[in-house]
Amino acid sequence: MTRRDRSPSEARKLELAAKRRRISAKKEARRGANEAAKIAQRWNGWQDAVFCDEGGVQRVAPYSYRFEAFAKGRWFGRTAVDVLTDEFKAYSPSYFREALKSGRVLVNERKVDDASVFASGDQLVHICHRHEPPVRNELRVVRRDEERIVVDKPSSLPVHPCGRYRFNSVVYVLSRTHKVQALPVHRLDRLTSGVLVLALNASAARSIGDQIQAHTVSKHYLARVKGEFPLQTATKSEGPALFSSFEVPSEIIVDQNPSWVLCDEPLVCVNKRVGKFDVGAGGKESRTEFRRLSYNGRTSVVLCRPLTGRTHQIRVHLRALGFPIANDPSYGGKLCRGNTVLETRPCDAAVVDAFERRVRAEVDEICPECSHNNEQYIPADPHTKGELYCSEIWLHAICYAGDGWSESVPPPSWAMPDFDDENYLKDVDPNSLEPV
């Protein structure tokens, strides 16, 4: 039927439909522009910071930071010093009393005394001298297109700002070194290394997020665990059904073992404040498959595939099986010489000296951290005293795949059959480590 043959009502319907499409397209364009503007401002602020990238380590000089938060229910009726000491354990009550006097701690933008208590709707401001722990600066871009950027993340580097880390995070490193504003779409613990996929726009983030929600993505990890991991058990699995075409690099395979071991213990959170988990009745359904790749008489390298996406799932399940990650002090492994220091490459001593002189010249008189040396040791999230100084665990995301795409990175040196785990795992005295 031609345009002349259409009745006025039909023509009007077509015209209205076309108008709705134009309006929808304009709204989508505005939404995209607004989201792009928000993303462009998300990981800024590093331009005013001072960095030192030498010896395989990224350092950032301490800087003034304004922390803002609205009062939480657990704060109501408690004094500012009590709340702040509880929430910011790196600082002492005496520090916060001095900060209240000097106006570095404000409530509703006003100075208050140490007897004031929080009420609903109060806003806290803490202007602190922020010290970030140094991290490995070995972040490698694997692939980049208009939709996403794929990186090989080193251990010690968190994905996004958290705790004591801000500029020393993947998203800020990418903003500073590659001028991209990336959006994390999946988790990878700070102590874990490996493949990480980040979106470069909101639509790509939604697309990957939808696949994660639909359980159409697959992850493979490598881990080095204590003891001789079994080739198979009574609860063996047939192995991954999705994306089974993933091929383990031949250089890390010693045991020609097709069998998978299944752990399906439910996970429960045993400490919400620090995010500690364990297996237990009534917990969330959790399933992980494991396949042994090698055993050297002390430790085993295993391929891990989580079928569910619980926090710390692989770490907890390996401990539950009796084969914890050998250098994971939070879940049955040990704090040792290898995971309490940052391995560094040769560096330009003059550059490092100039950076250190600048840091020493800008000491804050009431900052409790200015007297500490943060060049060597890496503090972790304070789950345990042991992990406080841990820079890495032997857990590496080697492949991440979804519907029509797959991203992988090379295996780490510790996954090789000739890796010297005995020297790495030598004891270290926790009392000799300096906290920062």
* Model pLDDT for residues 417-428, shown as the tens digit of each residue: 999 999 999 998
Both structure tokens of 14? 């077509």
| pLDDT tens column, 208-258 | 999 988 888 999 999 999 999 999 875 556 555 444 457 899 999 999 888
Q: Is the pLDDT of residue 80 over 60?
A: yes
pLDDT confidence of residue 239: 54
Band of residue 8 on the pLDDT scale cut at 50, 70, 90: low
pLDDT confidence of residue 184: 94
Among 90-99, 132-141, 317-326, 330-339, name the most confident range: 317-326
Closest by CA to 128, choosing from 110, 158, 103, is: 103
Q: Give percent above pLDDT 70 in the chain.
A: 85
**What's the CA gap between 64 and 132, in Å, rounded?**
11
pLDDT confidence of residue 262: 95
Both structure tokens of 96? 């916060």
348 is catalytic: no
Among 22-26, 56-60, 284-288, 362-366, name the most confident range: 284-288
Return the DSSP state at 353.
Answer: H
Q: Is the pLDDT of residue 385 over 50?
A: no
Q: CA-CA distances (angstroms) from residue 352 to 135, 227, 249, 356?
A: 15, 41, 38, 6
Band of residue 32 on the pLDDT scale cut at 50, 70, 90: low
Would you list the DSSP string of 370-419? Answer: TTS--SS-----SSSTTGGG----SEEEEEEEETTEEEE-PPPGGGSTT-
CATH topology of domain 48-131+343-367: 3.10.290
Band of residue 383 on the pLDDT scale cut at 50, 70, 90: very low
Both structure tokens of 193? 């290394």
Q: Give the strand pairing for 193-199 and 395-402.
A: parallel
Both structure tokens of 163? 């705790």
**What's the CA gap between 379 and 386, in Å, rounded?**
10
pLDDT confidence of residue 436: 37
Band of residue 16 on the pLDDT scale cut at 50, 70, 90: confident
**What's the CA gap between 222 and 304, in Å, rounded?**
6
The answer as to CATH 3.40.50 being correct for domain 218-341+376-398+420-436 is no
Q: Give percent above pLDDT 90 in the chain.
A: 60
Residue ranges of domains in the chain = 48-131+343-367, 133-214, 218-341+376-398+420-436
More confident residue, 400 or 11: 400
Q: Is the pLDDT of residue 342 over 70?
A: yes
Band of residue 381 on the pLDDT scale cut at 50, 70, 90: very low
Band of residue 1 on the pLDDT scale cut at 50, 70, 90: very low
The one catalytic residue in 48, 53, 113, 189 is 189
Residue 361 corresponds to which amino acid?
A: A
Across the range 181-192, mean pLDDT stands at 93
Question: Which residues, in sequence order, are bridge partners of residue 371?
Answer: none
**Mean pLDDT score of the chain, rounded to an integer?**
86
pLDDT confidence of residue 403: 84
Q: What are phi and psi of 361, to 5 degrees?
A: -75, -15
Q: Is the pLDDT of residue 5 over 70?
A: no
Q: Is the pLDDT of residue 378 over 50?
A: no
**What's the CA gap between 11 and 298, in Å, rounded?**
79
**Are 133-214 and 218-341+376-398+420-436 equal in CATH topology?**
yes
**What's the CA gap between 317 and 233, in Å, rounded?**
15
More confident residue, 411 or 80: 411
Across the range 27-38, mean pLDDT stands at 58
| pLDDT tens column, 255-308 | 988 889 999 999 999 988 778 999 999 999 999 999 999 999 999 999 999 999
Q: For the whole model, what pTM was predicted?
A: 0.83
pLDDT confidence of residue 90: 75
Q: Which CATH superfamily is domain 133-214 in?
A: Pseudouridine synthase (3.30.2350.10)
